[in-house]
Structure 1
Amino acid sequence: MKLDVTTRNMNILECFSSETRVRIIELLNGQPYNIGELAEALSLSSAIITKHIQKMEEAGIISTENMVGKRGTQKRCSLNIDQLTLVLRTVPADKPADHTQYTVELPVGQYFRHEVKPTCGLASSEKRIGMMDDPRYFDDPERTQAEHLWFGSGFVEYRIPNYLVGHTEASSITISLEICSEAPHYNENWPSDITFSLNDTDVATWTCPGDFGSKHGLYTPQWWIDTQYGLQKTILITREGTFIDGIRFSNVGIQQLNIKAGQELRFRIACPESAANCGGVSLFGKGFGNYPQDIRVTIAV
């Protein structure tokens, strides 16, 4: 996740101004904790820990869920994002464009090819699009307005604009998106093996732990009652291989994709029925989930 250092993001930046909140993040890096466990580990009262957790949950850094414990209901806390990059200097509007890279955002509903099976559906920020669990509506012209889509198995495929010129070759591709599994209604313990491909080449398979809906997504419309948000994942393909959130997932390098000027770029997100964990796919655009973005792609030369 990239974050501009501006006053509009103070709710997130302030989360790192407290030693206690940073120590909570350190603890949650290893495993989820409930409020009582955090209080014991940090030698603080549960009331103080609860206030810190509320602030970080509102900022989208931590997610919580209520679980039944030995002494009644407990609130289990876990990290909601894996990494955060602070952007201190942004490019002014009047500054010439950086010709060493370009960035585009692909709305989740602007796929050009699909093959999906229920449970499935699409929604814009205003309404559901078509009927639930009917794959035919993935061909509906209104699909381009979708800001959330989901399917139990299959794939959706997008065209990435190729603005390379002449003999220029891409040195890296970065794809950032918000994604999770797809269970009926929602199920936060619902693993799904999701495969990412470029130009028919599988670059990485990542196992999502679940389909998240125990708390409302920061940007999810209030009328929506099912899956609320996903995890932001960043896929980086370089000459050294393919990485997700900085961790190497495969040795597939960008040179194997043979991306050149004039060549079509096709990005596929799939969960095949043959997967060990066929738990489906849920995608979120800027009008749903915890991150105000679509599928963001940056190509560097």
Structure 2
Amino acid sequence: MIRYLSTDDKSLLVYEALASRPRLDILDWLAKRPMSVKEIAEALSFSSATVTVHVQKLEEAGLIVCSPAPGKHGRQKLCRLAADSFQGSIRTRSGSGYRDDLSCSIRVGHYTDYSVKPTCGLAMASSFIGQLDDPRYFSDTRRFDADVLWFAEGFVEYRIPNYLLPGQRLARIDISMELCSEAPGSNEIWPSDISFELGGAPLGVWTCPGDFGDKRGVLNPDWWPSRNKTQYGLLKIVSVTEEGTFIDGVKLSDTSARDVQPAFGQHLPLRISVLPDAGNVGGVTLFGRGFGNYDQNIEIAFQVAPV
């Protein structure tokens, strides 16, 4: 997820939290994986009390999220990044410049169209939804409660709401999601060419290296199988800018914000697919809140500019 910073008072807490070498080191460690306070203290050779003070500062600034989790000796405080990228700019107060205060969160099960082939399935916090490897259950009404889904080939499509007003244009859109390939069971070496489309325009293809099941996902509910099952994905950010489309800062295509401008009141369809003629037809798994390693849905952030 991208965190936007400006010259407002809310951003001041972030700047203050970042003005510390130990806190920057903590963020570096959490970028690798979620960690407990004790693990952070051991990694930095600090006392747990000292780390707790720094963690509180980072949590107050909204840079990390801490939640209780089971440990070897009872409950522990597990810390994870709330954002893995920052973008800052100076904004005019007149409202005539760019705005970055528009965002939305789309639950994994809230797709509006789909066509999938097995292996496939969906799950919510309490259980799987229907029978596994049966595409018919992608139409089940319980899918709206789904926070993880997977398929070997095909697509899911979501509707991104359009908040543009007359006289405004889309200058940039960032789409953050946790995803990986989909192998039968799991397989860390299972490449998949995952395609992204926005507003009918192809954004590009990203090759995911595998379907990760080597260790249990931090957020997975207790009932989720620990063996021979996908556990977590990679957090990726697809950014459509005025210069082109990028994934984690690496250019995917020349498709720019100009190519995906929606008409007033028209939504933006987002399609995530694995095409049958792809070089690596390795499926896709999408994680939402409560599954995988990142406690988030498909997160969308907009930048709007005057026409």
- Give TM-score, length-normalised by structure 1: 0.71
Higher mean displacement: 247-256 or 133-142? 247-256
Partner of 1:288: 291
The answer to whether the Cα contact below 8 Å between 2:2 and 2:174 also exists between their aligned partners in 1 is no
The code of the aligned residue for 1:275 comes to A
Partner of 1:175: 175
In the alignment, is residue 236 of structure 1 matched against residue 232 of structure 2? Answer: no
In the alignment, is residue 248 of structure 1 matched against residue 251 of structure 2? Answer: yes
Residues 114, 164 of structure 1: CA spacing in aligned structure 2 closer, same or farther, 3 A cutoff? same
Higher mean displacement: 272-281 or 100-109? 100-109
The code of the aligned residue for 2:209 comes to P
The code of the aligned residue for 1:223 comes to W
The answer to whether the Cα contact below 8 Å between 1:174 and 1:297 also exists between their aligned partners in 2 is yes
In the alignment, is residue 271 of structure 1 matched against residue 274 of structure 2? Answer: yes
Q: How far off its partner does 1:207 sit?
A: 0.2
Q: How far off its partner does 1:15 sit?
A: 8.1
Aligned counterpart in structure 1 of residue 264 of structure 2, from 261, 265, 282 = 261
Per-residue deviation, residues 112-161 of structure 1 (Å, max 9, x unmatched): 00000000000001100010000000000000000000000000000001
Higher mean displacement: 122-131 or 252-261? 252-261
Q: For 1:1-301, what aligned pairs fall within 5 Å after superposition? A: 1-2=1-2, 17=25, 52=43, 84-85=84-85, 100-225=100-225, 226-301=229-304
Per-residue deviation, residues 51-75 of structure 1 (Å, max 9, x unmatched): 649xxxxx99xxxxxxxxxxxxxxx
Q: How far off its partner does 1:237 sit?
A: 0.4
The code of the aligned residue for 1:260 comes to A
Say which SS state the counterpart of residue 166 (structure 1) adopts. Answer: coil
The code of the aligned residue for 1:128 comes to F
Moved over 3 A (4+): 1-6, 13-18, 85-88, 98-101
Partner of 1:92: none
Say which SS state the counterpart of residue 169 (structure 1) adopts. Answer: strand
Say which SS state the counterpart of residue 137 (structure 2) adopts. Answer: helix
In structure 2, distance between residues paired with 1:115 and 1:285: 20
Residues 169, 16 of structure 1: CA spacing in aligned structure 2 closer, same or farther, 3 A cutoff? closer
In structure 2, distance between residues paired with 1:110 and 1:299: 20
The answer to whether the Cα contact below 8 Å between 2:2 and 2:176 also exists between their aligned partners in 1 is no
Q: How far off its partner does 1:203 sit?
A: 0.5
The code of the aligned residue for 1:134 comes to D
In structure 2, distance between residues paired with 1:130 and 1:279: 23
- Give TM-score, length-normalised by structure 2: 0.70
Q: How far off its partner does 1:85 sit?
A: 3.3
**Count, aligned residues:** 239
In structure 1, distance between residues paired with 2:116 and 2:279: 18
